[in-house]
Structure 1
Amino acid sequence: MMGLLAAWATHRQSIPDQQTVIRWRAMMRFSCLQENLARGLSIVGRAVSSRMSLPILSNILVATDAGRLRLSATNLEIAITCWVGAKVEEEGAIAVPARTFADFIATLPAQTLEIEADESKQTLRIQCGRNRANLKGNPAEDFPARVQPTAEKAIELDAAILRDMIAQVAFAAAPDMERPILAGVLAEFTADEVGTTTLALVAADSFRLSVRTQKLDHDLSSPMQIIIPARSLNEVARLAAETEQPIQMYVLKDRSQVLFRVNDVELVSQLVEGLFPPYKQIIPQSYVTRTVIATKDLQAAVRRASVIARGANNIVRLQMFAEDASGPSHMTVSAVAAELGDNVDDIDALVEGQSMRIAFNARYLLDLLEVVRTDNILLETSSPSSPGVFRPQGPDAADFIHIVMPMYVAD
């Protein structure tokens, strides 16, 4: 045995080029375009974990799959898998540190890459033109297994509509996981008497509530409610921005997960366990004053007032004036801060009902106005201490409602 080892050592010393590829030791070999691999790494890289307690999660799994390259990353909350076109010569898999791999591939020119994995050394060898590199990796079997979609029929969602729905709702979810249910978005599937299926996305953070509904061309076997982390839906929206094809959604109830398929990308997210608050009870059913304002006018006025409001707990005051003998209806948007000064904007508005005043957090108003797609927005108010109800106004207005709790202002 020692003789064999000595002979192998002598053989290794006789090799003039230490970069020579020893083919029989490679467990995976493929070639692909640098730009395709870089894009795939960028997509899955958003799911890479920084948890030092589980070092394997800082890796990207590189594997061959039915003649293509499959890249996977997960932080145990979401997992993203992306398939990249490649010429596969030998099947295999290896886990590679994500940051090193992605950063290195990004520095290479837009050429064909020749890549192979060495099973004995857990090394990924990359050749691009006259550049050759060896990146240290980890055993593929240490990486979490990929979740497979069930045989159930997928729910198909229009990519542009889903992206818009997420944009109008996810921002209202709580920003931290201390309250996991409020950090999630309720996806509520219902069917009416004639069988029309409706999807409602709902988010709330105790200070505001956002509800967006959309009719679907999908037969629903039974009503369903799931809570998806808002961070996961934001990743879905990012993927949806790159396609015009329908997005397939699978609810994996037995695993408490949801899977979204977007072209050559799959995103799997854990679902949040628990019951979402009865949001319909929060939506006011009546109003005293209804005001219609140009969205851009209100947005500009609130943005100006928010500069002054920084010195006054971010409070912006809205005053609605009904038409009377002194002139037509209008609205003022103002802010006052003892150490900064004050600001008042007078803008056109159609006011129905009584004159009304109410104050809101400027950031909440700006978040809302950023996702309103119509030229006009409607505000319904009942009193200075009651929630304000905002809806888009116009023939193309989506079924979207946003509730904002008012802020107390001493007279």
Structure 2
Amino acid sequence: MKFTCSTKDIASAVGAASKVVNAHTTVPILSNVLLSADEGNIRVRATDLELTLEQSFPAEIAEAGAVTVPARLFSGYLGNLPAGLLELTGSPSRASVKAERSNYDFHALPADEYPPLPTAQKGQSFAIPAKRFREGVAATIFAASNEEARGAVLMGTLLELDGDTITMVATDGYRLARWTSTLERGIEGTAKFIVPSRALNEAARNLGTAELVEVTALGAQANQLQFTAGTTSIVVRLVDGQYPNYGQVIPAKFDRRVVVNTQGLIGGLRRAELVAGDRASMVKLEVANQTLMITAKSDVTGNAYEELEVEQTGEDLAIAFNARYLVEILNHVDSPQTVLEFLGPLSPAAIRPLETGDGGEQLYVLMPLRQ
């Protein structure tokens, strides 16, 4: 193969693909990215067999063909090139690159050994504005578990479809994030998909700048999802399992409500957490007389006390939380003011924005700590 292209185009595509590559893979070919030249375009593909990303960009093709090159090495090289043109010549064992007055040879592996693109029958499909998709992913995936011991299901994010409504849910058993919005194009009936949160993050990062994201279920068992926008396609292998009935975690009603300045609460919690210092980062919230008091105690560091004016509805309350978890939730609340709703000191609390924009509807649930 032989082609000439913009250094900016190839650096962007290879850089995105290299992030998919598993640095600890024991299969040598999976450490490489595949470059295919055909019909005026270069397609760059990377896979870890669970997630496959492919991007394309225009190039001047002198000789069609394909080559695989080490992902991290090639991405690092391209990222340090100045803007201009690059000429690449590929063979089964070598990729030779010329850019301005520099020449580099990279060891390659045969392109025909690279895993093919997943091919399967297409099933249900839907479309969502890319900006809304990115917002939904950001609002939820942080709450998914990152511990393999808790299982692949909790490391995934649930995509729940009902007509033209989409709900994304993530939980690690201690906190829960739910985001609901409207699809650009919905489906008939209902569907549920558990997507690995890492893969969903890659999809949002690589597709979020487009206008619309098309999502299609693949396979007779709908065990893969394909996300497509513009010249980028991502195919994800879904998690096989039953997602927890998250609706049971959300109390049907609350008897106490607090409206508080979001940034003021974040600041108070961060300072108190420094004093709490232990693994649970336990801080105590007390609500009385339209005032929210944040306290933390430690035999090692001392005591913390913060006070915020709030709008209080219902009886007084004292409840304890993991400050780090609460701050992380508040960092995703898209509103200057936050609503906290309680049922009691040992019941899950709900956190939501006071003002909702034209995007999605956010709801967070956090389990309290025993004092």
TM (norm. structure 1) is 0.86
Cα separation, 2, equivalents of 1:309 and 1:265: 46
Matched residue, 1:251: 217
Cα separation, 2, equivalents of 1:107 and 1:213: 41
Cα separation, 1, equivalents of 2:219 and 2:295: 49
Cα separation, 2, equivalents of 1:181 and 1:280: 16
Residue 34 of structure 1 aligns with an amino acid whose one-letter code is T
Cα separation, 2, equivalents of 1:175 and 1:338: 31
Structure 1 gaps of 5+ residues are 1-27, 192-196, 324-328
Q: CA deviation at 1:166?
A: 0.9
Cα separation, 2, equivalents of 1:399 and 1:246: 19
Q: CA deviation at 1:129?
A: 1.9
1:96 aligned to 2:58?
no
Q: CA deviation at 1:262?
A: 2.6
1:182 aligned to 2:136?
no
Q: CA deviation at 1:52?
A: 4.2
Out of 266, 276, 282, the residue aligned to residue 233 of structure 2 is 266
Q: CA deviation at 1:150?
A: 5.2
* CA 177–231 in structure 1, closer or farther in 2 if over 3 Å, else same: same
TM (norm. structure 2) is 0.95
CA contact under 8 A between 1:83 and 1:264: conserved in structure 2?
yes
Cα separation, 2, equivalents of 1:336 and 1:251: 51
Structure 1 residue ranges, 4+ long, deviating more than 6 angstroms after superposition:
none
Cα separation, 1, equivalents of 2:356 and 2:175: 25
CA contact under 8 A between 1:312 and 1:336: conserved in structure 2?
no
* CA 250–115 in structure 1, closer or farther in 2 if over 3 Å, else same: same
Q: Which moved more, 1:257-266 or 1:373-382?
A: 257-266
Structure 2 gaps of 5+ residues are none
* CA 250–66 in structure 1, closer or farther in 2 if over 3 Å, else same: farther
Cα separation, 2, equivalents of 1:349 and 1:49: 48
Cα separation, 2, equivalents of 1:331 and 1:267: 46
1:214 aligned to 2:181?
yes
Cα separation, 1, equivalents of 2:334 and 2:167: 18
Alignment of 1:283-302 (within 5 A): 283-302=250-269
Matched residue, 1:172: 143
* CA 209–123 in structure 1, closer or farther in 2 if over 3 Å, else same: same
Q: CA deviation at 1:41?
A: 1.0
Matched residue, 2:41: 68
Q: CA deviation at 1:125?
A: 1.2
Indicate the structure whose relative CO is greater, using CA pairs within 8 Å and at least 6 residues apart. 2
1:236 aligned to 2:203?
yes
Secondary structure of 2:137's aligned partner: helix
Out of 164, 170, 177, the residue aligned to residue 203 of structure 1 is 170
Matched residue, 2:348: 387
Matched residue, 2:291: 330
Residue 349 of structure 2 aligns with an amino acid whose one-letter code is G
- Give the count of matched residue pairs: 368
Q: CA deviation at 1:49?
A: 1.8
* CA 312–60 in structure 1, closer or farther in 2 if over 3 Å, else same: closer
Secondary structure of 2:310's aligned partner: strand
Cα separation, 1, equivalents of 2:219 and 2:370: 43
CA contact under 8 A between 2:124 and 2:217: conserved in structure 1?
no
Matched residue, 2:362: 400
Out of 29, 35, 55, the residue aligned to residue 8 of structure 2 is 35
* CA 379–50 in structure 1, closer or farther in 2 if over 3 Å, else same: same
Q: CA deviation at 1:44?
A: 0.6
* CA 162–87 in structure 1, closer or farther in 2 if over 3 Å, else same: same
Question: Please, what is the CA RMSD of the aligned residues?
Answer: 1.7
**Deviation string for 1:182-225 (max 9, x for gaps)?**
0000100013xxxxx21010111111111111122324222100
Cα separation, 2, equivalents of 1:225 and 1:346: 43
Matched residue, 1:225: 192
Secondary structure of 2:179's aligned partner: strand
CA contact under 8 A between 2:131 and 2:211: conserved in structure 1?
no
Cα separation, 1, equivalents of 2:142 and 2:259: 23
Matched residue, 2:83: 110
Out of 282, 286, 294, the residue aligned to residue 319 of structure 1 is 286
* CA 293–249 in structure 1, closer or farther in 2 if over 3 Å, else same: same
